[in-house]
Structure 1
Amino acid sequence: MFLSNLTELTISQGYRRFFKVVPALTDELRAENYRIRHEVYCRELGFEPERPEGLEADAFDAQSVHCLVQSATTGQYVGCARLVLVDLDKPQAPLPFEIGCEATLDRSIIDPMAIDRSHIAEISRLAVIGSYRRRQGEQNRPISISEEDFGTEKQPRQPYLALAVYLGLLALARHYGITTLFVLTEPRLAMNLTRLGVRVQRIGGEIQHRGTRVPSMMSVNEIIDGMNFLLRSLFEVIAREVRDGLGASDEYAVRARHHPLV
């Protein structure tokens, strides 16, 4: 990444000027999450049918923890994502990617059914409202990070919104004791995540799901330990926002008993 001209202070200040990560642990905040998903996945992209109530939700939301990204200037919620946790009452129940990739997972790399499933989760339903997806050609994608997001060596810039979504999920994963994250994503996005120093390991063949998708996995500790000092400073700001949001919720305490903090 072109970070040589940036400082720890400027990257943190730049983020705080524009955005804030908010864990969506109340019914009201989850509804905001579902509204964004409906706007993006149903109305803008046509991935799902439109629903009269204007909310896009599925059966996995009940076992998920959600986060929102809020505009610091308007207060509007502009992005969202979720971590799908394993249902510890039914630990062998598959996560979404296990269902979609049942025939293509390479279990010689990893067999999700053969490891401690209380420490795995799946990233999904990442979405950013259309007015914040300004880069040409990206209107038909929920969210992405690409080389252009980082500007040039002389004019570096940070994709704060996309970073907020990903780092917010990472902070949630750390809080819930998740060590391995799975994601079903475009090959291009998996490749671009490497620009953040993230090692994304492909674990199976391609499937067709809203285009070509591949299953991949990431190590939470490896990502955090491998952050350079600039990205780490931004992550710590976002992690503090996540901790503050989680600590204010009674529901979090209930979930934490099943997914202890690390």
Structure 2
Amino acid sequence: MFSSKIFNLGNAFKQHFEIVPAFSDALKDEVYRVRHQVYCEDLKFEPARPDRRETDEHDSNSLHLLMRSIKTGEFIGCTRIVLSRPEDPCYQLPFEKTCATALDRSIIDPSKLPRKDIAEVSRLAVIAAFRRRKGEANSAVSISGRDFGTPDQPRFPFIPIGLYLATTELARLNGIDTVFVLTEKRLASHFSKLGFDLQYIGSPIEHNGERIPSMMSVSATINNMRINLHSLYHAIAVDIKRNLPKEVLCFGKTNDQELA
């Protein structure tokens, strides 16, 4: 892993990428376009749409994020936070349906949690030009040991970790402390090693490849974050605050405490 004395992740991130919350119709359209490019055209996880936009019934109650390349100005990745619908007691987050028989409810039972405090991170997507290496052709986002380089030639997987840190900050701003994610076991393992508070809550299922249901405490992830990630998290938090329309800052209760 990196030493913060050697490599300032926040400064490096700002040279190459920007996080943009997608609240306008135009930015949401970019989210759906990226998702169609990755999920429908490239990976063929979903059927192609005539309008080349990949959407579903959960988008209307989701917070969307984009990542933009500073060099080209293009949007290269996206993700979303699916919020619950407290006014609809029958509504389930996507993973609650997909993992209905795989969840270990002795660990946690999502149906018994305060619905306004939980959400699901899903639809992470990175365009092929920024993820296409050996072994990644069938994954919408990936991390491998090679992404961290060597002590002499350090590298860092800014795109997937940047997207996850962005969802962490946007969840925090909206009073969400428990987020669920359906992810590859290898990806979850790498995130855990970086200090993300990921816990498996069920058995693996087949969902466009093997996926395992997990949950993450937003506050624990922030409080226990590796020190070398602090500058990166701060850079992403600044991006979100700068690009978030004032009228939507924010939907829920907020906590303005920042990492030292």
> What's the TM-score, normalizing by structure 2?
0.94
**2:81 corresponds to which of 83, 86, 111:** 83
RMSD of the alignment, in Å?
Answer: 1.4
Q: Give CA deviations for 1:119-170 in whole Å, capped at 9, x if unaligned.
A: 1110100000000113222122110222211112222111112222111111
Aligned partner of 2:60 in structure 1 is 62
* Code of the aligned partner of 1:81: T
Distance 2:97 2:18 in 1: 33
Aligned partner of 1:40 in structure 2 is 38
Deviates more, 1:158-167 or 1:124-133: 158-167
For these two proteins, the number of residue pairs brought into alignment is 255
* Code of the aligned partner of 1:105: L
**1:179 corresponds to which of 164, 174, 177:** 177
Distance 2:131 2:193 in 1: 19
* Residues 36 and 54 in structure 2, CA contact (< 8 A), matched pair in contact too: yes
Distance 1:261 1:135 in 2: 39
Q: How far off its partner does 1:5 sit?
A: 5.5
**1:95 corresponds to which of 93, 97, 112:** 93
1:59 is paired with a residue of what secondary structure? coil
Higher helix share: 1
* Residues 76 and 126 in structure 2, CA contact (< 8 A), matched pair in contact too: yes
1:218 is paired with a residue of what secondary structure? strand
Q: Give CA deviations for 1:56-100 in whole Å, capped at 9, x if unaligned.
A: 000000010000000111110000000000012114411000001
* Residues 11 and 231 in structure 2, CA contact (< 8 A), matched pair in contact too: no
Q: How far off its partner does 1:228 sit?
A: 2.4
Distance 2:21 2:113 in 1: 28
Distance 1:146 1:121 in 2: 27
Distance 2:34 2:43 in 1: 12
Distance 2:117 2:6 in 1: 35
* Code of the aligned partner of 2:72: T
* Code of the aligned partner of 2:254: L
Distance 2:230 2:90 in 1: 34
* Code of the aligned partner of 2:119: A
Aligned partner of 1:106 in structure 2 is 104
Distance 2:181 2:34 in 1: 20
Aligned partner of 2:2 in structure 1 is 2
2:235 is paired with a residue of what secondary structure? helix
Aligned partner of 2:254 in structure 1 is 261
* Residues 166 and 236 in structure 2, CA contact (< 8 A), matched pair in contact too: yes
Change (3 A) 1:4 1:238: closer
Deviates more, 1:91-100 or 1:174-183: 91-100
Question: What percentage of residue pairs aligned between the two structures are identical?
Answer: 46
Distance 1:55 1:215 in 2: 27
Aligned partner of 2:13 in structure 1 is 15
Question: Which segments of 5 or more consecutive residues in structure 2 lack a partner in the other structure?
Answer: 256-260
Question: Which segments of 5 or more consecutive residues in structure 1 lack a partner in the other structure?
Answer: none
Deviates more, 1:134-143 or 1:207-216: 134-143
1:70 is paired with a residue of what secondary structure? strand
* Residues 127 and 142 in structure 1, CA contact (< 8 A), matched pair in contact too: yes
* Code of the aligned partner of 1:2: F
